[in-house]
Every structure is written in structure tokens, then in C-alpha cells.
Amino acid sequence: MLTQNLIQVGDKAPDFSAIAVHEQEFKEIHLSDYKGKYLILLFYPLDFTFVCPTEITSFSDMFDQIKSLNAEILGISVDSEYCHLAWMQLDRESGGVGDLKYPLVSDLSKQISLSYNVLNHEGKSLRGLFIIDPEGIIQHILVNNLDVGRSVNETLRTLQAIQYVQGNPDEVCPANWQPGHATIKNNPLYAKEYFRSI
């Protein structure tokens, strides 16, 4: 019997291995392949749908900027690798995704979606987004229902904020923080400097 796993920010990311499609080829990937890098896991319901290709292609279009931050992306759905390949071989104007800059992972067994607690009652993956740090720790979780797409720009901003506070452990990022903006000292006395400045 399949059982959901309850995970939260700060937990070790559940390990997995699976077949992925990248550059028109099948390859086996392991979560451990990405140790030492930040990793964005991008769960989505199904290939050949409506919201999904807008997300998948938007993340691909921003991939170089994300990669420049020592980060990679894996798209994951419960489709087979053959379905992924067919979707990639269809151009965007026809509802496909074309060539992508990151792999799409087949979770046909639904075990990965279960382990990340994003499998819904219909057997589809919800729109789960996880940012995992180079040590394999989950730093961010966002889960949308099927009909609402995610923001690539907000994902990028969140990744940058995570990297900033990990590199500056005495500081925290306030709401709507952007790179180059003021942060808050993680100290009651020094924090007042920020609040006086806004």
C-alpha cells in the first residue's frame, strides 16, 4: 500500500533514482548526483496539459540564470519517459515543450511524488516546488493546486534569498527582499537599524 511521507523545511530531501529525459536521451538520475549544488524540484501534474507547458518552458527559458547560481532543475511528473520524450519532440506552438535545458523525470511508480507528499487523490502530482541546498536539506516548499501556475521570478528570488542568508548567517531577508536590498541583523538591537530605515 502507498503511504504519504510528511516532510517539511529543514528535513533531508528524500533520496530517489529514476529515468529522466534530457537532450532527447533517456538516462538514470539520482538525487545524490546533485550534491554540492542547489536543486529545484518542479513537480507538475501531467504532460500534454495546459498550465504545465507554460511552467516547464518558463523555467527552461530562465535556466541559464538559475544555473549561474550553482543551481539545477528537475521537472517531475507521473508520466512515463516515453511520454516526456514525445512532449519534448512537439514544438511549443503545438502544446509541446520542445528542447528543454533541464531533464524531465518519470515518476510512473508515483513513489517520488509520494515521498515529497505532493501526490493527490487522483494520482497526479500537485504543483510542488522544492529548493534543496548543496547539503541535501530542503530550504523551501511551495505547493499549488492543479489550476494555478508558479512564478519563475519568485522562485529565483527565493533561491537568491536562501543563498544570501546561508552565506550571511547573522542576517535575515525581509518581505520582498531583492539582491542588493537591505537585510535585517539577526539581533534585537541591530534589527532596529533596519526598521528605522523603512
Q: How many CA atoms lie within 13 A of 182 on its CB side?
A: 11
Nearest CA to 52 out of 7, 83, 20 is that of 83
Three cell numbers at 186?
Answer: 539577526
Active-site residue list: 52
Domains of the chain, first to last: 17-150 (3.40.30.10)
Is the full-model pTM beyond 0.85?
Answer: yes
Q: What are the Cα distances from residue 129, in Å, to 61, 76, 159?
A: 17, 10, 12
Backbone conformation region of residue 176, classed left if phi is above 0, alpha if psi is from -120 to 50, else beta: left
Q: Which residues contact 163 (CB under 8 A, 6 or more apart)?
A: 38, 69
Give me the average pLDDT of each 10-residue run along the chain (198 residues).
Answer: 78 98 97 97 97 97 98 98 97 94 98 97 97 98 97 98 97 94 87 80
CB count in 10 Å sphere of residue 30:
11
Rounded CA separation 54/98 (Å): 12
Residue 162 to residue 153: CA distance in whole angstroms: 14
Scanning the structure block, which residue is given the C-alpha cell 548543496? 134
Q: What angle do CA 39, 136, 110 make, to 5 degrees?
A: 70
Phi, psi (rounded to 5 degrees) for 179:
-50, 130
